[in-house]
Amino acid sequence: MRILVTGGAGFIGSEFVRATLERYAADEVTVLDKLTYAGNLANLDPVADDMRFRFVEADIANAEAVERALDGCAMVVNFAAETHVDRSILDPDAFVKTDVLGTWTLCQAARAQAIQRFLQVSTDEVYGAVLSGASSELDRLDPSSPYSASKAGGELLVLAAAKTFGLPALVVRGANAYGPYQYPEKLIPLHITNAIDDQPLPVYGDGQQRRQWTHVSDFASGIDAVLRQGRVGEIYNVGNPEADDTLPVNLTVTRRILELLGKPESLVEYVVDRPAHDRRYRVDTSKLLGLGWRPRWSFEDGLAATVRWYADNEAWWRPIKSGERHQAYYAQNYADRSAFAR
């Protein structure tokens, strides 16, 4: 069976591709990726020579390219997206183009060819902040940022295509992922790599925001479980089911990173908060656990392993961080967040 994985050169998509080719000897994978700043062919190096792997450089909003890539594919997993909340505040249009319009273009092409399953990778951020308890798949959507609103728009179009046109679609709403190969703009890889270089670690607001940190390999195995065993037309949350109090607030994550690297607390730099910053996310994963999925990583072990991976793989992240494109973004995002003392 051939699977089309869009956005497969990114963080979670590449993990899914590497794991699928390792686990299923009879499967073949085509990755379609636009190679934006976040797409990196080095993430696919481990499978580059596999005869079952094919790469197409294209935009999911390009109908012709998508139709060609879909030829011979039985399933589609759509990871392709603009994914960073801070960038969605600086340049929201890119999010609407890819996460809404691109997703719709892909849906239309999949409808036209008899695709057996179309899995849309969405986010827990569509629920908005959840101050207590956990979001169930039936909860209302209340996105706060252009990123989460665009992701909500994309998944609603996928679900509408399932109802209206019979597209055999499934939706996964994932919690915050972390692990190897994550672009160093997101909290954990940014703070690890800044700490290695003795650079300040920017903490937004009071640092008391909480995320349901989920190891990328558990996130990818959750997607695999839904793709192969989930019921068409249904939504599944994916996230680390560890108890809330073992999943620390941002400031504690940052301090733990410093501790693991033997760096001083003085590297913490409190900066002006992100607008509309969601205080807490948490999803209820009972439905996914019901499919037999089990996570393999505790956050404590996963964070330590991730810190080690970045320390051992400078050749992967240094070229990204020293590149002009990344430095321009960093200056833009952090320049007007002048540091304030607490």
Q: Which residues are catalytic?
A: 124-125, 147
Report the residue from 109, 119, 121, 203 that binds ligand TYD according to the rule CB under 6 A: 203
Beta strands in the chain (DSSP E): 2-6, 28-33, 53-57, 75-78, 117-123, 169-174, 177-178, 201-204, 214-215, 235-238, 268-271
Per the DSSP assignment, residues forming a β-bridge with 77 are 5, 119
Q: How far is the CB of 78 from ligand NAD (least distance, A)?
A: 7
Residue closer to ligand TYD (CB basis): 67 or 273: 273
> From CA 60, how far away is CA 186, in angstroms rounded?
23
Report the residue from 3, 4, 5, 9 that binds ligand NAD according to the rule CB under 6 A: 9
Determine the distance from the C-alpha atom of residue 128 to the mean position of all C-alpha atoms in its chain, rounded to a whole number.
Answer: 16
Q: Which region among 53-61, 199-207, 268-276, 299-307 touches ligand NAD (by CB under 6 A)?
A: 53-61
Residue closer to ligand NAD (CB basis): 83 or 267: 83
Report the residue from 3, 5, 12, 258 that binds ligand NAD according to the rule CB under 6 A: 12
Which of the listed partners (ligand NAD, ligand TYD, none) does 209 bind, with a CB threshold of 5 to 8 Å by partner kind?
ligand TYD
Residue 282 binding ligand TYD, by CB under 6 A: no
Segment 19-38, which members bind ligand NAD (CB under 6 A)? 33-36, 38
Q: Which region among 54-62, 183-191, 218-226, 296-304 touches ligand TYD (by CB under 6 A)?
A: 183-191
Residue 121 binding ligand NAD, by CB under 6 A: yes
Residue 29 binding ligand TYD, by CB under 6 A: no
Beta strands in 34-103 (DSSP E): 53-57, 75-78
Determine the distance from the C-alpha atom of residue 339 to the mean position of all C-alpha atoms in its chain, rounded to a whole number.
Answer: 28
> From CA 169, how far away is CA 171, in angstroms rounded?
7
Is 76:110 a contact under the CB 8 Å cutoff?
Answer: yes
Q: How far is the CB of 227 from ligand NAD (least distance, A)?
A: 14
CB atoms within 10 A of CB 54: 15
Determine the Cα angle at 107 with ends 27 and 223, to 5°.
45
Segment 133-192, which members bind ligand NAD (CB under 6 A)? 151, 174, 176-177, 183
Residue 10 binding ligand NAD, by CB under 6 A: yes
Q: Which region among 55-63, 197-205, 276-284, 325-333 touches ligand NAD (by CB under 6 A)?
A: 55-63
Site size for ligand TYD (CB under 6 A): 11
Which of the listed partners (ligand TYD, ligand NAD, none) does 203 bind, with a CB threshold of 5 to 8 Å by partner kind?
ligand TYD
> From CA 295, how far away is CA 292, in angstroms rounded?
10
Output phi, psi for 304, to 5 deg.
Answer: -60, -45
Helix ranges (H only) for 71-145 are 85-90, 92-95, 103-112
CB atoms within 10 A of CB 86: 18
User: Contact residues for ligand TYD (CB under 6 A)?
Assistant: 85, 176, 186-187, 190, 202-204, 209, 211, 250
User: Contact residues for ligand NAD (CB under 6 A)?
Assistant: 6-7, 9-13, 33-36, 38-39, 59-61, 79-83, 98, 102, 121, 123, 151, 174, 176-177, 183
